[in-house]
Amino acid sequence: MNANRLRTVTHNITIGADENSLGHRLKVSLAYGDDNHLRELVFVGRGKGEAIPGLLTDLGIALSRVIQGRDPDTGKW
């Protein structure tokens, strides 16, 4: 593994599924530091619709900043 890369685990998640719909399938990668603490969250597979991929990318960035103790909007410590 590259020394600059975090260890990642990818999960398949389905949301909004019911008897009438298969729901939206997403893939989310969780990245961990050497101390095994969660450092980043990245949506690698995205749901339907034109706006959803961009929203999930922005959400992943904001959540990763929060996980790291940074401001979700600015990224500042």
18-28 in b/e burial notation, b at 16+ Cβ within 10 A? eeeeeebebeb
Q: How far apart are CA 75 and CA 29, in angstroms?
A: 20
Identify the pLDDT of residue 53.
Answer: 80
Give tens-digit pLDDT for 2-28. Answer: 667 899 999 998 888 889 888 888 899
Give tens-digit pLDDT for 52-71. Answer: 788 888 899 999 999 999 99
Give tens-digit pLDDT for 22-54. Answer: 888 889 999 999 999 999 999 887 666 667 788
**pTM for the complete prediction?**
0.77
